[in-house]
């Protein structure tokens, strides 16, 4: 489960990341990442978008659980104040956790401006 401080729950945050952030995609998902210019005190937050195109409710829930588990370890590596939105694509329904993790890592590495753990 994603810690409460790292959950993106407001619609404005989703809209901000999608409209102003960097985007990178893979076979199973698309990542939108907005990083602030300054260092904020707010922790990085992440949200998921899993539409009905992915599958019925049971399948969507399974995909969300897998993605939340993968994000739990990765959200701490993002710059403070960042907003991350992960949108699952229909092929995510049949993807393994390893395939989702590889897609997520690849997309995040393309979106981040500074390497994880590096100080700017």
pTM above 0.85, yes or no: yes
Rounded to whole angstroms, the Cα distance separating 28 from 86 reads 10
Question: What's the pLDDT tens digit per position in 10-68?
Answer: 899 899 999 999 999 999 999 999 988 887 788 999 999 999 999 999 999 999 999 99
Inform me whether the pLDDT recorded for 115 exceeds 80: no
- Grade residue 120 by pLDDT with cuts at 50, 70 and 90: very low
CATH of 24-111, one of 3.40.250.10, 3.30.230.10, 3.40.50.1000, 1.10.3720.10: 3.30.230.10
Rounded to whole angstroms, the Cα distance separating 93 from 63 reads 6
As given in the structure block, the two tokens for residue 15 are 């809209």
For residue 34, give the DSSP letter.
E
Q: Any idea of the CA torsion for 100, 71, 87, 12, to the nearest 10 degrees?
A: 180
- Strand, coil or helix: 44: coil
Question: What's the pLDDT tens digit per position in 75-94?
Answer: 988 989 999 999 999 999 99
Rounded to whole angstroms, the Cα distance separating 34 from 61 reads 25
**Could you tell me if 83 and 8 are in contact, meaning their C-beta atoms sit under 8 angstroms apart?**
yes
Rounded to whole angstroms, the Cα distance separating 108 from 101 reads 10
Domain edges within the chain: 24-111
């Amino acid at each position: 489960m994603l810690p409460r401080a790292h959950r993106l729950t407001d619609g404005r945050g989703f809209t901000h990341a999608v409209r102003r952030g960097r985007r990178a995609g893979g076979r199973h998902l698309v990542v939108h990442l907005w990083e602030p210019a300054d260092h904020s005190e707010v922790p990085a937050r992440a949200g998921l978008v899993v539409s009905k195109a992915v599958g019925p409710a049971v399948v969507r829930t399974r995909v969300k659980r897998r993605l939340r588990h993968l994000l739990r370890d990765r959200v701490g590596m993002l710059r403070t104040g960042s907003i991350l939105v992960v949108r699952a694509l229909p092929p995510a329904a049949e993807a393994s956790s390893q395939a989702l993790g590889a897609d997520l890592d690849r997309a995040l590495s393309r979106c981040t401006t500074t390497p994880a753990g590096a100080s700017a």
